[in-house]
């Protein structure tokens, strides 16, 4: 039985589609149970409300900024935003030269300044450091007011304990460097001492005034430390180069002072200097040698990763990158909700209109369109949730618009397909054959045209900025969903439906009625051609069907041919008639 082939393939394809959808649903369901995912898509800022800032980096002096520098800038902004207690802020680069900050609610003036300001990297000597990660000293145990230190003299250098006065000591004790962290300023006065934390270790510091400002850092790199004999050891280190002459000169003075303390007592916190980024200590090495040429090497339990991280921070943190707000959008949660509701309403109305039009145009076949659209919708929805979960994809209003627009383009695949099937019916084929032939032709067209769509979505996605990206993304996503549905649902379904009585016999409301499609023989008689499929059709057809079938046996091609042959027989040579008939039969294969 030739018929079982396509039928069972069709059934299998449908089962596969069902399996894919169920698998995705289970994946999302599992995620929801595990508390990692949610059944509703993550919403973009314009639908959820919040603030979006698009920042363009500015480098003083230098014209442009490399992508490495930008990445570093993003991580600096991320630290600042996280440090300021704003939760759920998303920071990303965009278009190769912009930084996008999305955060719920409205940023305060201080937060906005914080984000815009250039990174503040400098070196300060350590005056006091705790040995272990330290929280705030409980109120009862804090040093009483009369015992707080009173400077005995004006400080002579940056490491002088005389910088520590009563107020600073109080602040030091009240500060916590372990969770919950105390909020601390991030752009302090460089001429004054500072209470600071090293977030990685939780150690609490009192630091002296700035001795080496960030602009004196020329560059930094990392690698394996060279041993005494010049052979490489297994120890990672960070090489730091300061500018000459000011950086090297200042560093020489600092290391001379600190190194003498180190030689006296290697454990003395005052032998260390802190590398401070935005008022947080990122590293506080001891000065083990006097550095005279501005070339120093920092060692101590680095892994390759931590050495790279420190070297990157030194290299980029010292860059005076500040940010200019290119665009700032504040959307209230109510407005976002309103836009979402309106977008959904527009989508439903649009879908409703498409449903009505499809039913009007394609009768029962319209139901196939509608169920295909529903399946495409389900696949798109699942994909958005999964992407939201895995890639933190958020649906924006432009994305919603992309989906609504896609309704039309998705439905077009079905239209192209159905019209081809109808064309085949008009040629007098039986429905089963018409579906197979129509599909073979429509498949090419659908693939070629969807390739254009996907290409557009890809180009837009990679080139564009802002809203355009979200739009391009959903456009591409729906094009893929469309292809899946056409191949795995619409075609197999039609294959199966073609074998039902309702469609196969061309019921008036099936949308595939050969009589309505004009596949009625106008001429009868000589020159009948039958394609193999059709012949089989007659053999397999039910009796009731066979009677009707005989009526429509003759194809338009046959009709034309018959007419033409009749016309030609008397007037032209038999050879000409033969070549003509070949032409016609070829055209309808």
Which residues in 345-364 contact another protein (CB under 8 A)? 345-347, 349-351, 353-354, 357-358, 361
**Binding map of another protein across residues 274-313, x = CB under 8 A, - = no contact:** ----------------------------------------
Nearer to another protein, 99 or 307 (CB): 99
Min separation Cβ 461 and another protein, Å: 9
Size of site (CB under 8 A) for another protein: 86
Q: How many CB atoms lie within 10 A of CB 543?
A: 6
Nearer to another protein, 98 or 309 (CB): 98
Nearer to another protein, 49 or 388 (CB): 49
Min separation Cβ 460 and another protein, Å: 5
Which residues in 565-584 contact another protein (CB under 8 A)? 566-567, 569-572, 580, 583
Nearer to another protein, 194 or 431 (CB): 431
Which residues in 450-469 contact another protein (CB under 8 A)? 451-453, 455-457, 459-460, 463-468
Nearer to another protein, 289 or 329 (CB): 329
Which residues in 470-489 contact another protein (CB under 8 A)? 471, 475
Instruction: Give Cα separations from 403 to 80, 399, 446 (angstroms).
Output: 36, 6, 19
Q: Which stretch binds another protein (CB under 8 A): 35-43, 129-137, 331-339, 536-544?
A: 331-339
Q: How many CB atoms lie within 10 A of CB 349?
A: 11
- Residue (of 207, 204, 198, 213) closest to 160 by Cα position: 207
Question: Does residue 252 touch another protein according to CB under 8 A?
Answer: no
DSSP letter (8 states) at residue 286: B
- DSSP of 363-401: THHHHHHHHHHHHHHHHHHHHHHHHHHHH---B-HHHHH
* Token digits of residue 12: 């299998």
Question: Does residue 551 touch another protein according to CB under 8 A?
Answer: no
Nearer to another protein, 322 or 326 (CB): 326
- Residue (of 197, 214, 219) closest to 206 by Cα position: 197
Distant-in-sequence, close-in-space partners of 397: CB < 8 Å, separation ≥ 6: 44, 46, 47, 339, 340, 343, 467
Min separation Cβ 510 and another protein, Å: 12
Helix (H, G, I), strand (E, B) or coil at 77: helix
Q: Are strands 98-103 and 50-59 parallel, antiparallel or unpaired?
A: antiparallel
Which residues in 428-447 contact another protein (CB under 8 A)? 441, 444-445
- Residue (of 491, 492, 499) closest to 432 by Cα position: 499
Which residues in 397-426 contact another protein (CB under 8 A)? 397-398, 401, 404-405, 407-409, 411-412, 415-416, 419, 422-423, 426
Question: Does residue 535 touch another protein according to CB under 8 A?
Answer: no
Among 125, 208, 285, 343, which residue sits at the site for another protein (rule: CB under 8 A)? Answer: 343
Residues 339, 341: Cα–Cα separation, whole Å: 5
Please report the beta strands in 306-372, taking only residues with DSSP state E, as ranges in sequence order: 321-331
Question: Does residue 334 touch another protein according to CB under 8 A?
Answer: yes
Q: Which stretch binds another protein (CB under 8 A): 63-71, 232-240, 251-259, 324-332?
A: 324-332
Nearer to another protein, 274 or 446 (CB): 446
Which residues in 4-63 contact another protein (CB under 8 A)? 46, 54, 56
Q: Which stretch binds another protein (CB under 8 A): 30-38, 245-253, 275-283, 514-522?
A: 514-522
Q: How many CB atoms lie within 10 A of CB 295?
A: 14
Measured at the alpha carbon of residue 82, what is the angle toward residues 79 and 86, in degrees to the nearest 5? 150
- DSSP of 510-575: SS--TTTTT---S--SS-----HHHHHHHHHS-HHHHHHHHHT-S-HHHHHHHHHHHHHHHHS-HH
């Amino acid at each position: 039985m030739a018929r079982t082939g396509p039928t069972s393939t069709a059934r299998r394809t449908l089962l596969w589609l069902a399996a894919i959808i169920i698998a995705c649903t289970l994946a999302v369901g599992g995620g929801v149970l595990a508390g990692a995912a949610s059944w509703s898509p993550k919403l973009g800022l314009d639908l959820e409300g919040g603030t979006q800032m698009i920042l363009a980096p500015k480098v003083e002096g230098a014209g442009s900024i490399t992508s490495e520098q930008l990445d570093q800038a993003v991580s600096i902004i991320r630290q600042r935003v996280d440090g300021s207690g704003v939760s759920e802020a998303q920071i990303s680069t965009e278009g190769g030269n912009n930084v996008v900050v999305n955060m719920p609610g409205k940023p305060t003036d201080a937060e906005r300044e914080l984000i815009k300001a250039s990174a503040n990297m400098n070196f300060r000597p350590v005056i006091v450091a705790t040995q272990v990660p330290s929280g705030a000293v409980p109120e009862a145990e804090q040093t009483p007011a009369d015992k707080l230190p009173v400077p005995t003299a004006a400080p002579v250098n940056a490491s002088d304990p005389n910088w520590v006065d009563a107020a600073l000591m109080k602040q030091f004790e009240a500060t916590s460097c372990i969770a919950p962290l105390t909020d601390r300023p991030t752009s302090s006065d460089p001429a004054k001492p500072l209470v600071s934390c090293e977030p990685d270790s939780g150690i609490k510091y009192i630091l002296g005034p700035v001795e080496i400002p960030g602009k004196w850092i020329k560059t930094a790199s990392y690698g394996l430390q060279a041993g005494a004999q010049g052979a490489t050891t297994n120890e990672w280190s960070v090489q730091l180069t300061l500018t000459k002459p000011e950086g090297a000169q200042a560093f020489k003075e600092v290391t001379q002072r600190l190194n003498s303390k180190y030689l006296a007592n290697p454990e003395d916190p005052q032998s260390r200097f802190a590398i401070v980024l935005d008022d947080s200590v990122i590293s506080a090495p001891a000065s083990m040698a006097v550095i005279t040429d501005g070339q120093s090497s920092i060692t101590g339990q680095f892994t390759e990763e931590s050495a790279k991280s420190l070297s990157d921070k030194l290299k980029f943190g010292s860059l005076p990158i500040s940010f200019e707000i290119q665009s700032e959008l504040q959307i209230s949660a109510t407005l976002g909700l309103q836009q979402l509701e309106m977008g959904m309403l527009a989508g439903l109305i649009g879908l409703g209109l498409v449903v009505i039009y499809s039913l009007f145009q394609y009768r029962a076949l319209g139901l196939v369109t509608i169920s295909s659209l529903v399946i495409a919708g389900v696949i798109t929805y699942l994909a958005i949730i999964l992407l939201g979960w895995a890639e933190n994809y958020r649906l924006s209003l432009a994305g919603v618009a992309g989906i609504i627009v896609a309704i039309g383009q998705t439905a077009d695949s079905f239209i192209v397909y159905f019209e081809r099937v109808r064309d085949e019916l008009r040629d007098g084929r039986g429905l089963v054959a018409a579906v197979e032939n129509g599909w073979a032709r429509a498949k090419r067209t659908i693939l070629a045209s969807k390739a254009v769509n996907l290409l557009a979505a890809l180009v837009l996605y990679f080139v564009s900025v802002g809203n355009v990206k979200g739009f391009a993304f959903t456009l591409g996503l729906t094009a893929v969903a469309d292809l899946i549905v056409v191949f795995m649902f619409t075609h197999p379904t039609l294959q199966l439906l073609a074998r039902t009585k309702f469609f196969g016999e061309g019921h008036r409301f099936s949308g595939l009625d050969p009589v309505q499609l004009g596949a009625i023989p106008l001429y009868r008689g000589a020159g009948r051609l039958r394609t193999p499929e059709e012949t089989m059709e007659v053999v397999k057809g039910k009796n009731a069907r066979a009677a009707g079938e005989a009526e429509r046996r003759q194809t338009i091609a046959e009709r034309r041919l018959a007419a033409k042959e009749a016309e030609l027989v008397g007037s032209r040579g038999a050879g000409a008639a033969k070549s003509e008939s070949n032409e016609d039969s070829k055209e309808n294969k």
